[in-house]
């Protein structure tokens, strides 16, 4: 666990401090619980529930719930290192911010991984339809990621691991100009048992940088159960 504490301290010191000085900065806390289950060697599912809470908003510290998300993904392996998936998510936002709308999200995904050494690399493409009562937004996402154990070449129970990723996003809607985002994420995980993992990390987003640049920081945590 000392790896997790040290990594979070270093990330927070070098990233969080300068971001708080930005005029257009927003900070969130986003915990999640996910359950994975493999029905066969080629088909598996993922269910998750997560919440998003402001910790910094409009130049001040503020704890306020923003939304609650429920999501499901079904994944089909098409080869040893490639898969396709279909996801559906519902976001409850109106109960927490009355001027906002709830949203249904449908996601089509293609994922390709390769592992030439102890480091595993992943390339993921997603196409999303974000459907709200007043607007439907089409979003195109491409992510590059790498993960590796922090002890040896194989992850064993009681050992930490590290995940690093960056993702580019393009959002298109009928009544709005296209919007571009870029995300950078780092997480430290810990394999608690054969079936459970804990992940904690930070994600920095540069949102809408072609129109109205905004800086967003997420403090993420996930408890992952594999059945």
Instruction: Tell which residue, 181, 113, 173, has the closest CA to residue 141.
Output: 181
pLDDT of residue 52: 98
Rounded distance between C-alpha atoms, residue 120 and residue 114, angstroms:
6
Rounded distance between C-alpha atoms, residue 133 and residue 80, angstroms:
40
In this structure, are residues 3 and 188 in contact, taking their beta carbons and an 8 Å threshold? yes
Determine the 3-state secondary structure of 133 from DSSP. Answer: coil
For residue 131, the Cα-to-chain-centroid distance in whole angstroms is 19
In this structure, are residues 31 and 221 in contact, taking their beta carbons and an 8 Å threshold? yes
**What is the reported pTM?**
0.88
In this structure, are residues 50 and 28 in contact, taking their beta carbons and an 8 Å threshold? no
pLDDT of residue 168: 98
The full set of domain ranges for the chain reads 2-183
Q: Which helix (H) or strand (E) holds 4?
A: helix 2-11
Give pLDDT < 70 ranges for the chain: 1-23
């Amino acid at each position: 666990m000392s790896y997790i504490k040290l990594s979070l301290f270093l990330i927070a010191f070098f990233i969080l401090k300068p971001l708080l000085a930005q005029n257009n900065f927003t900070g969130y806390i986003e915990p999640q619980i996910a359950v994975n289950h493999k029905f066969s060697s080629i088909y598996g599912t993922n269910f998750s529930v997560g919440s998003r809470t402001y910790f910094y908003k409009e130049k001040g510290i503020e704890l306020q719930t923003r939304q609650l998300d429920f999501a499901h993904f079904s994944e089909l392996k098409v080869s040893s290192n490639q898969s396709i998936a279909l996801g559906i998510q519902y976001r409850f936002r109106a109960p927490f911010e009355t001027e906002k709308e709830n949203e249904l999200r449908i996601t089509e995904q293609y994922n390709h991984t390769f592992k030439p050494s102890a480091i595993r690399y992943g390339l993921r493409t997603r196409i999303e339809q974000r459907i709200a009562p007043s607007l439907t937004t089409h979003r195109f996402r491409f992510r590059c990621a790498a993960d590796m154990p922090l002890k040896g070449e194989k992850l064993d129970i009681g050992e930490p691991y590290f995940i690093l990723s960056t993702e580019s996003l393009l959002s298109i809607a009928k009544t709005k100009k296209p919007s571009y985002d870029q995300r950078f994420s780092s997480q430290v995980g810990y394999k608690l048992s054969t079936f459970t993992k804990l992940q904690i990390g930070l994600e920095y987003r540069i949102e809408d940088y072609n129109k109205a640049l905004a800086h967003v920081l997420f403090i993420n945590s996930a408890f992952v159960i594999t059945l």
